[in-house]
Chains A and B, each alone.
Chain A
Amino acid sequence: GQQVMQIPQYQHVQEGEDFTTYCNSSTTLSNIQWYKQRPGGHPVFLIQLVKSGEVKKQKRLTFQFGEAKKNSSLHITATQTTDVGTYFCAGRGGSEKLVFGKGTKLTVNP
Chain B
Amino acid sequence: ETGVTQSPTHLIKTRGQQVTLRCSSQSGHNTVSWYQQALGQGPQFIFQYYREEENGRGNFPPRFSGLQFPNYSSELNVNALELDDSALYLCASSPDTGELFFGEGSRLTVL
Q: Do A and B bind each other?
A: no
Residues of B within 8 A of A (CB): none
